[in-house]
Amino acid sequence: MDRTRDLFLLIKKRPVICKDTPGFIVNRIARSFYNESLRIVDEGLVTHEKVDRIMKKAGGFKMGPFELQDLIGIDINYNTTQSLFDNFQNESRFKPHYLQKEMILANRLGRKTGKGFYKYE
């Protein structure tokens, strides 16, 4: 662990040492980012484009949750969420959203298939 920490410091990264737990710190936090965004859009409160714009402008994020899901891959994002849901004994905060599953079945996986929440050339 010390050698890995030293390597991170050498390449100007800030390592975080934590106890062993399912999922990475960022992946656990990001589930709320994605899942609440999906719920807001599913409830018809706002479009995914507006959520992305708000999160970038007001939240200071470089990408909104839907742009980021398209970049990562809807399937990868869904599988990560499902893994956390399984490893935390079905805690509701990690429950995957059905919209992602529908997109996977429709092969709308994001940038890698040319269509996800957005269309790509």
Residue whose C-alpha is closest to residue 75's, from 39, 40, 48, 111: 111
Domains of the chain, first to last: 22-113 (1.10.1040.50)
State the Cα–Cα distance between residues 76 and 63, nearest whole angstrom. Answer: 17
**pLDDT number for residue 24:** 85
Q: Which residue has the tokens 């935390």?
A: 88
State the Cα–Cα distance between residues 31 and 58, nearest whole angstrom. Answer: 20
**pLDDT number for residue 21:** 87
Encode the chain (121 residues) as per-residue pLDDT tens digits.
Answer: 899 999 999 999 999 888 888 888 888 999 999 999 999 999 999 999 999 999 999 999 999 999 999 999 999 999 999 999 999 999 999 999 999 999 999 999 999 999 999 999 8
State the Cα–Cα distance between residues 28 and 84, nearest whole angstrom. Answer: 8
What is the pTM for the complete model shown?
0.87
State the Cα–Cα distance between residues 49 and 118, nearest whole angstrom. Answer: 9
